[in-house]
Structure 1
Amino acid sequence: MDGNDLSPGKCPVMHGGNTASGASVTGWWPAALNLNILHQHDSKTNPLGPDFDYREELKKLDVEALKADLRALMTDSQDWWPADWGSYVGMFARVAWHAAGSYRLADGRGGGGTGNQRFAPLNSWPDNTNTDKGRRLLWPIKKKYGNRISWADLIILSGTIAYEVAGLKTFGFAFGREDIWHPEQDIYWGAEKEWLAPSDGRYDSVDSPETMENPLAAVQMGLIYVNPEGVNGNPDPLRTAAHMRETFARMAMNDEETVALTIGGHTIGKSHGNGNAADLSAAPEGGEVEAQGLGWMNTKGRGIGRDQVVSGIEGAWTTNPTKWDDGYLKMLLEHEWELRKSPAGAHQWEPVEIADEDRPVDVEDPSIRLNPIMTDADMAIKMDPVYREIAERFYRDPSALDDAFARAWFKLTHRDMGPKDRYFGPDVPQEDLIWQDPVPAGNRDYDVAAVKARIAQSGLSVSDMVATAWDSARTYRGSDMRGGANGARIRLAPQKDWQANEPERLARVLSVLEPIAAETGASIADVIVLAGNLGIEQAAQAAGHDISVPFAPGRGDATDAQTDAASFDAMEPLADGYRNFAKQDYAVAPEELLLDRTQLLGLTAPEMTALIGGMRVIGTNYGDSAHGVFTERKGQLTTDFFVTLTDMRYSWVPAGGGIYEIRDRNTGETRFTATRADLVFGSNSILRAYAELYAQDDNERKFVEDFVAAWTKVMNAGRFDLDAD
């Protein structure tokens, strides 16, 4: 027998088990709750270790030297991937744009804040074709500066420098984006099973863009925004305009920002479609090992320079595609356009007539002049009345366009960074922008014990205090670092009127807490959190546990003028399993909605388990519902939730409407009621393991300590002022 025979039957490891096609244990039960999203950035994936501090590394960075190297890169054309017209400004503007452009307002996920473009699926989206080449061009700079610059910062900075080299005065730049080290595989990008599948499945009606499924923003799987050829690849500029308006709104951009970004994005660079897309090799994630992570290589031609295929559309938008000027609007508004096909067969618009000197030159041979092009999205700017009016204003006043684009670019590339406390570097703009959710600095120098004593004498119940503090803090999203208790926006529109916040109860509690804040010098935000902490201490003491909940003063109180109410609308809790709340019945199961909120809060599965069990017995359910309150000692921080859930004296019987009855097996008496968000902690094998841990007789104190730690984590979420101390 050949000792090197490694046929499948003799392979020394599980055959196929270590590839994506390998069957997992949970694959046998596709309906089982998948907790992976809670641990997708486990510390084990981070090679830098727990002691690595990126902000400290940034302090060592020679920013001017880095920017000088990036400026040099813009015109340092490489033989293996030559620059169009000898300039990479278009390349790096696109790499940065497509990193940032995956951001969506509904859940704050996506964006350029984590360097996720390095990993699947984004590194292999059709819309990201050849961004892998841009990252390889950046590698020598990343190698040189090492840990002092993250990939996330470097990618976004490269696009900003590209615009500066082209001639734009940019608005600023902030360092501070920390890299992830593993794909964000559990982000929902859509249900489609093929790239660029028709849009119809994302909409109740594709003719009504507002019916796109939440939290999605892009019109098709694998696109960042809209299809450049038109809706489902069918040119119709006015129809495309309607989809642009919805898509950009879902990415937190208004009409003026949409027009400015479209103009600015197409003022430099070109689109590539001079060949047959069928001749391209696999995307990076699907390539053979010898491809070394490079994808979309032309297998039947040069595939570089003028012979590239990316979107399939072929051509530049302006006469001078490496310069920041008014060439785009001059080209768009002063010419008539007609539909034609690119060499790759894509729909594109070309001028009916154009002077030869207005045509851009070939990327390799300046003696050749070619037609400029427009996409369907560009034609939407020309034909949609609102977009057209904005474009004409920018054409009359180029300085207005310069400012609008610089600000919109800054917003696009910084939207998911969160508050300015996270910004770092010499080019951070001083101006506070409303989309940064500014919060004034809070007072840290007041008598916390005195405030706590005033709250204790206020007559508020434990459930009032804990529920209000939770509602204030639960808006935090680790995806884009928005929300949280800092700012006390729960007392402002739109949050004060959200159904999940029980407006009448909220107003009553605030009417008690606000005077305490005014009379003691504490912020309302601090008083709300401190009241919640006090409620937990009282509940723990009632259960026989003397414990102090950690508290960090210094939260500020935002004003209406500092609050972009429209963008906060997207953050309304439509469901919150921690308080057993759902605004309506949803196709998605309550336990899945619970996982989504848990992940946005940055909590682990054990932390989620402890918080659910504690909040149920304290009595914080929405509307004071009894579901999941598995205790006769409501208001006390006990382990009764877990003890009851794991007690085999009971049976669990569906009662209709998503409610379950917990019945005594011997008498048939209904002792408690529950929702799926309660019972999943007994039905899911992983969550049951945590529930059993807390149900043990020897773990009552551990449960209280774990609950307090998880609670404090939520209350301090978004306190980046603490990180900066």
Structure 2
Amino acid sequence: MDHSQMPRTGGCPVNHGGNTSMDKPVTKWWPNALNLDILHQGGARTNPMDPDYNHRKAVKGLDYEAVKADVHALMTDSQDWWPADWGHYGGLMIRLAWHSAGSYRLQDGRGGGGSGNIRFAPLNSWPDNASLDKARRLLWPIKKKYGNALSWADLIVLSGTIAYESMGLKTFGFGFGREDIWGPETDVYWGSEKEWLAPSENRYEDLDDASTLENPLSAVHMGLIYVNPEGVNGNPDPARTALHVRETFARMAMNDEETAALTCGGHTVGKGHGAMAGDKIGAEPEAAGYEAQGFGWANPDQKGSASDAFTSGIEGAWSKEPLKFDMGYFDYLFNYEWELTKSPAGAHQWKPVDMPESEMPVDAGDGSTPRMPMMTDADMAMKVDPIYNEICQKFMADPAYFADVFARAWFKLTHRDMGPKANYYGPDVPQEDLIWQDVIPAGSNGYDVTALKAKIAASGLTSAEMIATAWDSARTYRGSDMRGGANGARIRLAPQKDWAGNEPDRLAKVLSILEPIATEAGASIADVIVLAGNVGLEQAIKAGGHSVDVPFTPGRGDATAEQTDAESFDVLEPVSDGFRNWQKKAYAVSAEEMMLDRAQLLGLTAVEMTVLVGGLRVLGTNHGGNSYGVFTDNVGTLSTDFFVNLTDMAYSWHPLEDGTYELRERATGAVKWQATSADLVFGSNSILRSYAEVYAQDDNKEKFVRDFVAAWTKVMNADRFDLLA
């Protein structure tokens, strides 16, 4: 070895922190730079599965009954390293499934239990998820046994459902089919706070008005799933807490009855754990040492006893028999007066007044010592709030009704982000169609596509009208919870038909022409809208001197108004569409950042986003026919002109006072074109410019057309789950 080449200072030759720092180099040094990471997550480099692995095929071969039997057996297989309460893990597994699914929010469809995201930061280390690392480790032998076909996402949700079954609830059903992710979700905004459980004022305009909670958030603190169990900002006040419970659950698409059922049914079984002060508990998993091997919240005083476990800091059971799904929660809540107290961990909670020991639950460890039950501030809200109280009275008068409402609400909670029933597998998938599943009737493929294309081409509609309508129909899809998209043709129904982004007048004109054509051909209007977009695109491709067919697969169905929960579709309204260079109004977030968000929800890569924007600009499909970013003299021809002119140094760009830009000829100063930041970002951002330069090259004109068609088809088929089975 040539020792002369060794570092003379004794310094380490490894780039410290360069591979492990959570601060991305670009955003660290240039915090205003556009971060494209949300379009790159979950790629082939992070996925350990074989390139040809198909989870849908794998899950069909799973021995469902054997899996369920093993999960049932686990419930009473108490382990010394994490003993079960009263010898039963039901409460723990319910909390695991609940907190996995409960991060879902309706506004953007992100969060939820559909991807196994609770395995990764930040969710795996949220204060609200304390000790759920133990539940996942208890499930590991089952995951190991069944391998790839049983995803963590399915197993986690299944464990909670089986727990309820083992405690006496007749569950509504279960669908396998969730597919795991393999790293943290960088696209999810959990809040701007820099510390756990920061005061709620950070995310409300007015803390007394729960509706002012910052969108798209649905939890009151950083690191919580819903509300603070001790009260708003940790100050007990059940009436005030009720308002925040109502808002947070509404942001999960739950109505008052579902909210009351989930709150009461969730606390009918199990217990809270706060037997000691939180400052005795170790660091969360992401902050623990290597020796912890993914475990966090070390509890030196637990010593193998379920009585000494720590999770939330709240301590006690909610009912006399915490291993039974019964009406015990209601018996306690409504048959006793309650007064404020504190847990051994110092958390605010409520205790019953003058409850005899004979009516108390017994210790979770020794199974004999009477222990004082408790209620959280959210539980007291069920009694204090007049609306929730009335619902609870109805539940108490009809226990069978309560069990059914809860079972359905639990099913909704744990399946809300799976999309249509086409994504459900297994013997326990309910036959009943539920409106929140966005039901779409089966479509037809028994018509003559070629003849139908000819009729559409002769309809008198312009290419831009057909392309824009197809795009608007499909762009609502969001892969976060697999809602929206062209299938169902809900663009013709309320509320979509009236959205400003869909240009209602243009939409009505196009539909009035396409609907009779669809009826005559025996095709769904959903198919015809997409096919018309393809026809317009093929016309634009031909005008550019190329001959490329745009793939089309029939079979979409048409949803009815009765099958559409119009209110829940309000959140899908686009308020910005960078692909059509439009914003409903000015926002604090830039147009290009909103375009990235839309691209990620559509499942697009940065390259696909680039090619679609460049193509849609020259096709003349901008909202309202605006000219921003239309860098071509041949509007309506699918060409590379957007990229060619964007990168041409014969022009220079100049900002205007209204936030837009002018492209001027350097030689004469004459204004040639106008642009928004959503156009110029493809020249200013180094990554996007590298893609733009590829498409601006003389040898890539045909490649551009092929790539545009592939990206277009991906968007049109994003919700065709029937093609993935």
Q: Tell me the TM-score normalized by structure 1.
A: 0.98
Structure 1 letter corresponding to 2:407? A
| Alpha-carbon spacing, 1:312–1:16, altered in 2? closer, same or farther (3 Å) | same
What's the CA shift string for 1:49-93, capped at 9, x where partnerless?
211122222232221111111111101100000001111000000
Per-residue CA deviations over 1:86-136 (Å, capped at 9, x if unaligned) read 110000000000000000001100000001110001000010001100000
Contact 1:261-1:405 within 8 A present in 2 as well: yes
Letter in 1 for 2:29: W
Aligned to 1:555: 556
> Shift of the alpha carbon at 1:23?
6.5
Equivalent residues in 2 for 1:314-333, closer than 5 Å:
314-333=315-334
Match of 1:209 in 2: 210
* Deviates further, 11-20 or 76-85: 11-20
Q: Which residue of 1 aligns with 2:409?
A: 408
Q: Name the aligned partner's letter for residue 11 of structure 1.
A: C
The 2-side partners of 1:658 and 1:310 are apart by 50
Contact conserved, 1:100 with 1:412, CA < 8 A, in 2? yes
Within 1, Cα distance between the matches of 2:187 and 2:452?
Answer: 43
Letter in 2 for 1:550: P
Letter in 2 for 1:544: G
Contact 1:17–1:23 under 8 Å retained in 2: no
Give the structure 1 partner of residue 20 of structure 2.
Answer: 19
- Structure 1 window deviating more from structure 2 (196-205 vs 20-29): it is 20-29
Q: Which residue of 2 aligns with 1:67?
A: 68
- Matched with 1:112 is 113
Quote how far apart the aligned CAs of 1:26 are: 4.2
Give the corresponding residue for 1:544: 545
Contact 1:8/1:15, CA 8 A, preserved across alignment: no
Mapping of residues 681-720 of structure 1, within 5 Å:
681-720=682-721
CA distance in structure 1 between the partners assigned to 2:406 and 2:7 by the alignment: 59
Answer whether contact 1:16 1:22 (CA < 8 A) is retained. Answer: no
Q: Is the 8 A contact 1:297 1:303 kept in 2?
A: no
1:291 alignment counterpart: 292
Q: Which secondary structure state, in structure 2, belongs to the residue aligned with residue 274 of structure 1?
A: coil
Matched with 1:358 is 359
1:190 aligns with 2:184: no
1:178 alignment counterpart: 179
Once the two structures are superposed, the pairs formed by residues 294-443 of structure 1 within 5 Å of their partners are 294-299=295-300, 302=303, 304-443=305-444
Indicate the residue corresponding to 1:78 in structure 2: 79
* 1:244-292 CA distance string (max 9 Å, x none): 1111010010000000000111011100111011111111111100000
**Distance apart, 1:46 and its partner CA:** 1.0
**Cα offset for 1:367?**
2.6
Aligned residues: 723
8 Å Cα contact 1:120-1:185 kept in structure 2: no
Query: Structure 2 CA distance, aligned partners of 1:507 and 1:417?
Result: 32
Higher mean alpha-carbon deviation, 52-61 vs 640-649, is at 52-61
1:9-29 per-residue CA deviation (whole Å, 9 max, x = no partner) reads 521310222222566244211
- Specify the SS of the correspondent of 2:103: coil
Conserved? CA contact 1:280–1:296, under 8 Å = yes
Distance in 2 between the 1:22 and 1:405 partners?
43
Distance across 1 between alignment mates of 2:685 and 2:304: 51
Conserved? CA contact 2:443–2:555, under 8 Å: yes
How many angstroms apart in 1 are the aligned matches of 2:647 and 2:574?
A: 30
Asked whether the 8 Å contact 1:121–1:185 carries over to 2, the reply is no
Deviation at 1:407, TM superposition (A): 0.2
For residue 551 of structure 1, report the CA deviation from its aligned partner: 0.2
How far apart are residue 201 of structure 1 and its match? 1.3
**For the residues of structure 2 that align with 1:21 and 1:47, how far apart are their CA atoms?**
22
Shift of 1:207: 1.0
Secondary structure, in 3 states, of the residue corresponding to 1:552? coil
Q: Which residue is equivalent to 1:200?
A: 201
Paired residues for 1:16-55 under 5 Å = 16-20=17-21, 24-55=25-56
Distance (Å, rounded) in 2 between the aligned partners of 1:335 and 1:345: 23
Higher mean Cα deviation, 336-345 or 360-369?
A: 360-369
Identity of aligned residues (%): 68
Q: 1:360 corresponds to which letter in structure 2?
A: P
Preserved CA contact (<8 Å) 2:58 2:149:
yes
SS at match of 1:671: strand
**1:517-567: CA deviations, max 9, x gaps?**
111001000000000001111111111111110001000000000001111
- Please, which runs of 5 or more residues in structure 1 have no aligned partner? none
* 1:669 match: 670
Asked whether the 8 Å contact 1:616–1:629 carries over to 2, the reply is yes
User: C-alpha deviations, 1:350-402, integer Å up to 9, x for none?
Assistant: 11121222211011123311111000000111011111000110011000110
Q: Take 2:504 and 2:10, find their aligned partners in 1: how far apart are those partners? A: 65
Tell me the secondary structure at the aligned position of residue 661 of structure 2.
Answer: strand
| Residue number in structure 2 paired with 1:278 | 279
Corresponding position: 1:161 with 2:123: no
Match of 2:254 in 1: 253
The answer to whether structure 1 residue 636 and structure 2 residue 637 are counterparts is yes
Relative distance call for 1:9 and 1:417 in structure 2 (3 A) is: farther
Whether the 8 Å CA contact 1:174–1:424 is kept in 2: the answer is yes
Q: CA deviation at 1:474?
A: 0.2
Matches of 2:356 and 2:236 in 1, distance apart?
A: 26
Q: Are the equivalent residues in 2 in contact too, given 1:43–1:49 (CA < 8 A)?
A: no
Q: Distance in 1 between matches of 2:274 and 2:362?
A: 16
Counterpart-to-counterpart distance in 2, 1:464 and 1:691: 26
Distance, in Å, in 2 between the alignment partners of 1:149 and 1:79 is: 26
3-state DSSP of counterpart to 1:154: helix
Q: What residue is the counterpart of 1:127 in the other structure?
A: 128
Q: Does the 8 Å CA contact 2:68/2:162 hold for their aligned counterparts? A: yes
Conserved 8 A contact 1:469-1:531? yes
Q: Separation in 2 of the partners of 1:265 and 1:103?
A: 17
Aligned residue number for residue 476 of structure 1:
477
Distance 2:642 2:715 in 1: 21
- Seen in structure 2, the aligned counterparts of structure 1 residues 531 and 354 have a Cα distance that, compared at 3 Å, is same
Would the alpha carbon gap of residues 58 and 331 (structure 1) be closer, same or farther in structure 2, given more than 3 Å must change?
Answer: same
Q: What is residue 620 of structure 2 aligned with on the other side?
A: 619
Q: Which residue of 2 aligns with 1:232?
A: 233
167-176 or 58-67: which moved more? 58-67
Structure-2 residue corresponding to 1:515: 516
Instruction: Please give the secondary structure, in 2, of the residue aligned with 1:45.
Output: coil
Work out whether residues 303 and 309 of structure 1, in 8 Å CA contact, stay in contact via their aligned partners in 2: no
Secondary structure, counterpart of 1:651 in structure 2: strand
1:581-620: CA deviations, max 9, x gaps?
Answer: 1111000011100000000000000000000000000001
Summarize the Cα distance change of 1:656–1:13 in structure 2 as closer, same or farther, 3 Å threshold. Answer: same
SS at match of 1:329: helix
CA contact (8 A) 2:131 2:310 kept: no
Give yes or no for contact 2:550–2:713 (8 Å, CA) kept in 1.
yes
Moved more, 329-338 or 22-31: 22-31
The match for 2:528 is 527
Could you state the TM-score of these two structures normalised by the residue count of structure 2? 0.98
Aligned equivalents of 1:304, 1:122: Cα separation in 2: 26
* Aligned partner letter, 1:200: E
- Range with bigger deviation, 44-53 or 429-438: 44-53
- Quote the offset at 1:502 in angstroms: 0.6
